[in-house]
Amino acid sequence: MSDSPRSPSAHSNGSHPKGASAKATQPGGREPGRLPASLRRNAPLVPVDSAGGRALAAVIAILTFLAALCAGGAELVATSSSQWRSDVAREVTIQVRPQTGRSIDADVDRAASLARQTPGIESAQAFTKAESERLLEPWLGTGLDFGDLPVPRLIVVKLQPDVKPDFGALRQALSAGVPGATLDDHALWASRLSTMANTIIGIGVVLVVLVLVAAGLAVTFATRGAMAGNREVVDVLHFVGANDDYIAREFQRRFFRLGLRGSAMGAGAALALTILLGALAGSWRASPAGDQIEALFGSFGIGWRGYGIVVFIALIVALITALVSRLTVRRFLNETG
């Protein structure tokens, strides 16, 4: 007898092995020729379109949606952080504080000239007095008289690509030629930014893992419930010669389809939400809020790599659904066998 029957209906015509009565050989004490309702008319062993199957698909869709959002957010932060660090690495600033008995304008010109003479420096742009005062307006407000305040002047220094200037030599030249001038290469700020971004990315990865674990637990309980509800079907399959591997494959195939359907819905919803947010951010780009959003998240797009990660998560959820269902069925059969 084959160990992978497609349907046990051929063995339900009342014939039984020699030396055994009909009632003794029929599982569950059913009348000869009677099959469970779930096996009639070539019904699947594990109905996917049942109420329980639809509920599990909805749970998988929600969990996939949350996992995709976490992964997309982590990818967005990683991309934005990389852009920020790249921009910061291309610039350094020189701050020139006013000194008693010295001309601030002369000191600014001297510091900018020293910066331009340093190898690896592309340009040095000094802020005017009015531009420096405008930098204080977000904190001090407008309409104030800064004439009596020793407002420092800034010089933005842009670096040549793939060239690292000798900041030590530039600091020594500024200290000797321009008292009160300091060079800030933003290394501390970039380090803190990198730490913050890596922390957010790590939290996103942990959340994705937790969501996948929750999906596996949901599939485990759903599979055990399906096994308990189809116990008579399993007994009939054992009666006609089906082994545990065949039954586990049936559950695995059905739950894989169910998990794939649920994860596809969840991933599709996450991608649609991401595209919608990107479109809204693009429409707000000309507004002050849009400028802030673009400054924080760039164009608010996760790129092709982000889309690939979302699709990959959907496939992982479907595979977890199939694998967990198979392992749960084997364990259930071993416990009840």
For residue 146, count other CB atoms closer than 10 A to its CB: 15
Tokens (6 digits) for 109: 């010109």
Q: What are phi and psi of 126, to 5 degrees?
A: -90, 135
Contact partners, residue 47, CB within 8 Å, separation at least 6? 38, 53, 254
Q: How far apart are CA 119 and CA 135, in angstroms?
A: 29
- Which is nearest to 193 in space by CA: 88, 91, 71, 289? 88
Tokens (6 digits) for 101: 């008995």
pTM of the model: 0.66
- Strand ranges across the sheet with 91-96: 121-126, 153-159, 91-96, 181-184
Q: What does the DSSP 8-state code read for residue 31?
A: P
**Cβ–Cβ < 8 Å for 218, 13:** no
DSSP 3-state of 149: coil
Give the strand pairing for 153-159 and 91-96. Answer: antiparallel
- Which is nearest to 10 in space by CA: 254, 179, 212, 241? 241
Per-residue pLDDT tens listing for the chain (337 residues): 444 444 444 344 444 443 334 344 444 444 444 444 444 445 555 555 667 778 888 999 999 999 998 888 888 888 878 877 777 778 888 888 888 888 888 888 999 999 888 888 888 888 888 887 777 776 666 666 666 677 788 889 888 887 788 888 888 888 888 888 888 888 788 888 888 888 988 998 999 999 999 989 998 888 888 777 777 777 777 777 778 788 788 778 888 888 889 999 999 999 888 888 777 766 666 555 555 555 555 556 677 888 888 899 999 999 998 899 888 888 888 776 6
